[in-house]
Chain A
Amino acid sequence: MQIEYPTTVSDAVDVLASWPDATLLSGGTDLMVEVNYRHRRLDQVVALRRIAELAEMDSAWIGAGVTHARLERSPWQGLAEAARTVGSPQIRSVGTIGGNLGTASPAGDTFPFLAAVDAAIVLRSASGVRTLPWDEFFTGPKQNARRPGELIAGVQLPEAVPARQAFAKVGRRSAMVIAIVSACVTRNEDGDVTVALGAVGPTVLRARQAEAMINAERRLTDTMLDEFQRLVADEVQPIDDIRASAAYRRHASGVLARRLLERVW
């Protein structure tokens, strides 16, 4: 195994130019499980932990190296609440948003927030910068649009992030669980609502019909809530797996989104 320890993004992309298929190591909380169980062998590794600029965060930027522990204390409620549900203190202290994006699990806990606020993922390589909207970055279960030689640099948030945000997740306990369903609902000052759901499709998704309905009505009656819940449940694309049935996930998606809508109203 060969390993490089760049300390700047510029050095990291130079290493990746010569090792385009190198394994990128951030917190290691996903990667090392595969290594420990001999599902993956490490050949060339680029360790990213020492790159201070990847850990930068400001009002519209979250560097790929920002840990979930730091996101717990970030100003975005929908992201902070999501980060708090990731794993355990031991996982949150090293696991990063960039690693979460690199793994691209359909159940990635930070993704409903990123989709709900229309975040973009910034990729750097020796040949330049690519900025992909979230729905172009995620291409399938555990698949993303990062190309060989590219590094996930961070997340660009829009200038105006909706002020009201709420996140919730369904699982067997409040820690150490992979989401059965996760959801983030936002509402901006104009009253526009967005709804994003995780673990109920090949990638995180937006419930566009439910959004359109509630944004046209702009009222929150019991009838509206029933319709909103029904539309969300119709729009998700869940599967049966070891954690839950598709039918349960569909039902829970509607219920979760409805509760979050009431919370941000």
Chain B
Amino acid sequence: MKLNINGHETVVEVRGDENLLWVLREELHLKGAKDACLQGECGSCTVLMDGEPVCSCLVLAADAEGAEIVTVEGIGTPDEPHPIQQSLVDHGAAQCGFCTPGIVVSAYHLLETHPSPSEADVREALAGNICRCTGYGAIIRAIGDV
């Protein structure tokens, strides 16, 4: 099947009921989206599908054909971090870092749709991204300062 990932058409093999997260990580070696709860609770696998944030673990890979998928790798790179990523660094907003890719994607979607979000908007946008280290304060300040 064909997938459109970060602007590139990619051909992948799926056997059947794999989720999109598995294809991203194991077939395409895009390890930014994390494999954690597999039930849509934690948000660490968040990607954009046709511009909307989704948990890639809850997308049947075969149903993603024809959709435009953007992963954290399509938002910024270590050499050219997106301003959201730079702001997270500047605010010391990552500790273990496991949730960070999902948070970057959720924040990217927020800022695409609400360029000047209130703190309440930021908190709402991150309601589906769980961070067990930071207590969220630095993350919310970082996104507010982008």
**Residues in A lying within 8 Å of B, measured CB to CB:** 1, 3, 5, 25, 27-29, 31-33, 35-37, 41-42, 45, 47, 49-50, 69, 87-91, 93-94, 174-176
Residue-wise interface mask of B (121-132) relative to A, using a CB-CB cutoff of 8 A (1 in contact, 0 not): 000110111000
Contact between A88 and B128 (Cβ–Cβ < 8 Å)?
Answer: yes
With contact pairs A36-B39, A89-B125, A94-B54 given, residues A49 and B62 touching in the complex (Cβ less than 8 Å): no
With contact pairs A88-B43, A90-B46 given, residues A29 and B58 touching in the complex (Cβ less than 8 Å): yes
Contact between A94 and B52 (Cβ–Cβ < 8 Å)?
Answer: yes
Contact residues on B (Cβ < 8 Å of other chain), bracket: 20 to 34
Considering only residues 14-38 of chain B, those with a C-beta below 8 Å from chain A are: 15-17, 19, 38
Contact between B57 and A32 (Cβ–Cβ < 8 Å)?
Answer: yes
On chain B, the residues within 8 Å of A32 by CB distance are 19, 40, 57-60
On chain B, the residues within 8 Å of A93 by CB distance are 52-54
> Mind listing 15 A-B residue pairs with CB under 8 Å?
A3-B62, A5-B65, A28-B58, A28-B63, A36-B19, A42-B60, A50-B66, A69-B52, A89-B127, A90-B43, A91-B128, A93-B52, A94-B58, A176-B41, A176-B127
- How far is it, in angstroms, between the C-alpha of A1 and the C-alpha of B59 when the chains are bound? 15
On chain B, the residues within 8 Å of A174 by CB distance are 127
Contact between B60 and A89 (Cβ–Cβ < 8 Å)?
Answer: no
Contact between A35 and B17 (Cβ–Cβ < 8 Å)?
Answer: yes
